[in-house]
Structure 1
Amino acid sequence: MNLIPEQWHSARLSLSDLKENEIPAVQKLYETSRYMNEWDGETYKPDHIQNCLFNGNLPPGGVLRNYRMQTVRNRENASLIGILSVYHGHPSSESVYLEFLYIDSNIQKQGFGQELTNRFTEVVADLGYREIRLNVALKNWPALRFWTQCGFDRISGIFGDRQISDNAFANLELVKTL
């Protein structure tokens, strides 16, 4: 299984595998994404980043060796600005699952997410993958707009509650063909 490199970069960003000593800073950044829980119905987990590093956030039957969590840093000053989490080979060997991508809400709308997504697409295409998949909450309109603008133009499934209500949640699985 070809995995994204332990370190890679784009014009303004540097990505590298999460290291144990980075857990507190990355967890703190992760906490700033809590606003998304109103859209996806998830509950905040104070040990999420540590759990992902040691156990992964795996699909059913998934194996840790196919999972990678990386920090996203601004190349200009090496500041931590984001998190990328990827599972290789799900639901097929030709697929990469973009499990989580978050850019610090204080610097969103500056093109970092678009730049990262474009470069990530190049990297996984060069590794031989044919598609990238991701899940996005139906109530997360900013993310739906972002991902469709990034070329995730096919819906492969709708998962979650069947009834619409304030306390109901559902996700779309979007696909970008490479």
Structure 2
Amino acid sequence: MVEQLPSRWSSERLLISDVEVSDIAELQSLYDTSRYIQQWDGQENDPNYVKNCLEQGNLPPGGTLNNYRIQSIRTAAEDQKIGLLSVYHGYPAENVLYLEFLYIQSGVQKQGYGQEMMSALTRQLAGLGYHEIRINVALKNWPALRFWFRSGFSQISGIYGDTEHTSTSFANMELIKNLL
């Protein structure tokens, strides 16, 4: 069995650590700033997303809470919370990490934090023995598709959702980044 991400780790400018109960309100407010994504994925805003993730996880079919982790992303210099990382270890195979949610607050986007986060995550996972990272991205979310492609997610494993494009239809694409 491959190991899981540590409860605390870092990159050059970022500190990443497990979410604590005392973080829920602040991180939920940060999560709420991602509501604009709903126009691309059609999902409703979850006013208890962070609390639910911490207590129950956002699990794949047959998943267990032990393999799930939600972490905050903070700046190292100011110790300011700027993002969230939610992952599932071992889905759909033992050596795969499913990146359930990654968000850097829009006010600090375009400063290289997302790319730095993905580089650091990739190094961590490769060191732990993972072979790939998967993520599900809304097809209408063009900024995210560009970001993930630049981050090395160059393989498509499937497209899911509505089959016709309309203003009220939504579909997602699962992308893969190989770590070997």
Q: Do the structures match in fold with TM over 0.5?
A: yes
Q: Please report how far the alpha carbon of residue 163 of structure 1 lies from its aligned counterpart in structure 2 after TM superposition.
A: 1.1
SS at match of 1:151: coil
Equivalence for 1:83: 84
Residues 1-178 of structure 1: matches in 2 within 5 Å? 1=1, 2-178=3-179
SS at match of 1:49: helix
Q: Please report how far the alpha carbon of residue 86 of structure 1 lies from its aligned counterpart in structure 2 after TM superposition.
A: 0.5
TM-score by length of 1: 0.99
Structure 1 unmatched ranges of 5 or more: none
Residue deviations 1:13-64, cap 9 Å, x none? 0000000010000000000000000000000111111000000000000000
Q: Please report how far the alpha carbon of residue 4 of structure 1 lies from its aligned counterpart in structure 2 after TM superposition.
A: 0.2
**Residue identity matched to 2:82:** I
- Separation in 2 of the partners of 1:47 and 1:101? 17
- Separation in 1 of the partners of 2:46 and 2:141? 20
Q: Please report how far the alpha carbon of residue 10 of structure 1 lies from its aligned counterpart in structure 2 after TM superposition.
A: 0.1
Q: How large is the RMSD of aligned CA atoms in angstroms?
A: 0.5
Residue deviations 1:93-113, cap 9 Å, x none? 010001100001001000000
**Residue identity matched to 1:137:** A
- Identity value in percent: 54
Give the count of matched residue pairs: 178
Q: Please report how far the alpha carbon of residue 133 of structure 1 lies from its aligned counterpart in structure 2 after TM superposition.
A: 0.2
**Residue identity matched to 2:16:** L
Structure 2 unmatched ranges of 5 or more: none
- Separation in 1 of the partners of 2:90 and 2:167? 34
